[in-house]
């Protein structure tokens, strides 16, 4: 009886770990999500000479460029760089 219970416990643990890894891999918005424009933690002015910006996970940032703006929440699972065009409207 103990032997079968141990196998079941190991199988359940493995199944749960695979399910958790799969949930992270299928993130709907890997770069974050649009945010309420009244809630930014900071504002970044963009220009043609802006090459990169650094943000922290969970940070809400308002981007301003040529009189237009949008606010973004960086609720991501990694620290990989990505092109600004992936989030800019």
The two three-digit tokens of residue 6, written as one number = 């141990």
What are the structure tokens assigned to 20, written together? 């958790």
Quickly state the pLDDT bin for 66 (edges 50, 70, 90): very high
Query: Over the stretch 11-65, which tens digit does the pLDDT of each residue have?
Result: 666 556 555 554 455 556 788 999 998 889 999 999 999 999 999 989 999 999 9
Q: Domain total for the chain? A: 1
| Residue-range definition of the domain harbouring residue 68 | 2-86
Is residue 79's pLDDT more than 80? no
CATH of the domain at 24: 2.60.40
Name 42's bridge partners: 61
Would the pTM of this model clear 0.75, i.e. be above it?
no
Contact (Cβ atoms closer than 8 angstroms) between residue 59 and residue 39: no
């Amino acid at each position: 009886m103990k032997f079968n219970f141990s196998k079941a416990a190991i199988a359940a643990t493995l199944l749960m770990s695979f399910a958790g890894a799969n949930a992270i891999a299928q993130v709907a918005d890997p770069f974050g999500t649009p945010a309420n424009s009244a809630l930014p933690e900071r504002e970044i002015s963009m220009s043609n000479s802006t090459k990169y910006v650094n943000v922290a996970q969970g940070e809400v940032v308002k981007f301003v460029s040529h009189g237009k703006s949008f606010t973004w929440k960086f609720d991501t699972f990694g620290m990989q760089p990505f092109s600004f065009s992936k989030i800019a409207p």
